[in-house]
Amino acid sequence: MKGRSGRLWGLGLALVAVAVVLCALHLSSATRPLVYVTVHSRPEGASVFAPDCSLGCTPLRLCLARGERRVLRFVRRDHNDAEAVINADAFIPQGWLGQWRWLLQDKEVAVTVKLGSAADAMLLVTTEPDGTEVFLDGRRVGVSPVSLRGLTPGPHGLRLVHPEAFVQSESIMLQPGQETRVHRVMETTKVVAYYRDLIRREPALLTHYAELAHHHVLNGQFADAAEVLREGFEALKRSDVDPQTTRRYFVELEQIYRRYFIYPPETANNKIRPVCRALLEMALDKGLGPAREMQEQLKRLDTYDKDHPPS
């Protein structure tokens, strides 16, 4: 009987001891870090900010105490900012049994915050007629009709090129999460025939040659552009050429040489550069234009060649 009573007393003392230890752990947990949170972002590499400081980049590890709450802001290039609230108590199990286990071993958890891409604008380009080359910010993106997704919201440069129409260039504004629709009717006047008629009627007006060469360049037709430029230099021999249009013609020549225009990306302009230079040197040798201006232009081309060697 006494043995049984002693065992009961021992069991009772053990239970009291366990209760005392658990109470001590419970009281100490108010100041001891309990929650270890590994914070991820999708995609990774986002900068994480608390209201008063920067915490680093994802993935990062936070150590939180019971009752602690963090408001975090995530920032990553080409993505929309995101916010998340990390609450330590949300990860603590409910019930006595769960909390006892929790107090014996700190909790390791992971949280992932998804960042929305900032490149979420859409663009639909249609033209009359179809088959118009579409350039966005200088890059060829297809032939109309063309639908584009995953674009960055904001201003963009749109250029439409059709071999039988005048080039159309404009600035468009893309809205986040929305599809912008652009429909344009191309002026399908025969451009080459149009300018050829102007040259026939006004052969001394060098701007006609420059505009036609410009059209050929924009369509990647550099051999045709070189021929028109040669005709323009031949027209310099005429006595009725206006000095103002002569200067404009030289400016146009230099702009073609320097890639001032947005050429089709698959076509380099290197083969027209020696043609432009040869025509300019020929005009200088034959005295077809203002010598000093042409000499200065050749020097500018030399400087450009040093900075932009042919590829």
Residue with tokens 């071993």, as numbered in its chain: 105
Q: How far apart are CA 48 and CA 58, in angstroms?
A: 7
Mean pLDDT of the chain: 80
Percent of the chain exceeding pLDDT 90 equals 24
Q: Are 163 and 133 in contact (CB under 8 A)?
A: no
CA distance linking residue 161 with residue 133, whole number of Å = 5
> Which pair of tokens denotes residue 96?
């006595």
Q: Edge-to-edge strand order for the sheet containing 179-185?
A: 146-151, 121-128, 179-185
Confidence of residue 31 (pLDDT cuts 50, 70, 90): very low
- The amino acid occupying position 99 is Q
pLDDT tens for 126-171 read: 998 888 899 999 888 999 999 998 888 889 999 998 877 778 889 9
Predicted local distance difference test score (pLDDT) of residue 9: 63
pLDDT of residue 88 exceeding 80, the answer is yes
Q: Residue 139 burial (CB < 10 Å; 0-12/13-18/19+)?
A: exposed
- The structure tokens listed for 220 are 């990647």
Cα(205)–Cα(10) distance, rounded to whole angstroms?
116
What torsion do the CA atoms of 273, 277, 282, 285 make, to the nearest 10 degrees?
A: 180
Global pTM reads 0.45
**Amino acid (one-letter) located at 75:** V
* Residue 100 CA neighbour count, 13 Å, CB half: 9
| pLDDT 10s digits, 218-274 | 777 778 888 898 898 888 888 888 877 787 788 888 888 877 655 555 455 567 788
State residue 225's pLDDT score: 84
pLDDT band (50, 70, 90) for residue 29:
very low
What does the DSSP assignment read for 5-72? HHHHHHHHHHHHHHHHHHHHHHHHTTTSEEEEEEEEEESS--EEEETTEEEEESSEEEEEETT-EEEE
Helix/strand/coil for 196: helix
> What is the arithmetic mean of pLDDT over 65-85?
88
Q: What is the pLDDT of residues 284-293, one digit of tens each?
A: 888 877 788 8
pLDDT for the residue numbered 148: 93
Highest-confidence range of 40-44, 104-108, 215-219, by mean pLDDT?
40-44
Instruction: Choose among 107, 85, 86: nearest CA to 98.
Output: 107
- Give the position of tokens 């249609």: 126
Please give the pLDDT value at position 159: 92
Whether the Cβ atoms of residue 59 and residue 36 lie closer than 8 Å to each other: no
Helices 273-285, 222-235: inter-axial angle, 10-degree rounding: 10
For the chain, the residue count is: 311
275 φψ region: left (φ > 0), alpha (ψ -120 to 50), beta (else): alpha
Q: Which of 39, 191, 15 is nearest to 113 (CA)?
A: 39
- The whole-number average pLDDT for the span 176-191 is 82
Q: Mean pLDDT over residues 37-56, rounded?
A: 92
Confidence of residue 60 (pLDDT cuts 50, 70, 90): very high
Domains with residue ranges and CATH for the chain: 30-114 (2.60.40), 121-185 (2.60.40.1120), 191-307 (1.25.40)
Distance CA 103, CA 74 (A): 31
pLDDT (mean) for 38-42? 93
